Amino acid sequence: MRSMKERMLAGEPYLAEGPEILADLQRAARLMERVNTSPADDSDARLAALRELLGELGDDTWIRPPFYCDYGYHIRIGPRSFVNFNAVFLDVAPITIGADVQVGPNVQLLTPTHPVDPEQRRAKWEAAKPITIADNVWLGGGAIVLAGVTIGENTVVGAGAVVTKDLPANVVAVGNPARPVRRLDDPASDHPASPSD
Number of CB atoms found within 10 A of residue 127's CB: 19
Residue 114 among the catalytic residues: yes
**Model pLDDT, residue 18:** 81
Per-residue confidence band for 188, with pLDDT thresholds at 50, 70 and 90: low
**Model pLDDT, residue 1:** 74
Chain-wide mean pLDDT for the chain?
93
Per-residue confidence band for 187, with pLDDT thresholds at 50, 70 and 90: low
**Model pLDDT, residue 53:** 98
Q: Which residue ranges form the domains of the chain, and what is each CATH number?
A: 4-181 (2.160.10.10)
Are 94 and 74 within 8 A, CB to CB?
Answer: yes
Give this prediction's pTM.
0.92
Nearest Cα neighbor of 47 from 72, 64, 26 is: 64
For residue 170, what is the DSSP state?
Answer: S
The letter for the amino acid at 121 is: R
Q: Which of 34, 64, 80, 114 is catalytic?
A: 114
Burial class (CB in 10 A: 0-12, 13-18, 19+), 35: buried
**Model pLDDT, residue 84:** 98
45-94 per-position pLDDT tens digit: 999 999 999 999 999 999 999 999 999 999 999 999 999 999 999 999 99
3-41 per-position pLDDT tens digit: 888 898 888 999 988 889 999 999 999 999 999 999 988
- Angle, alpha carbons 9-103-28 (nearest 5°): 40
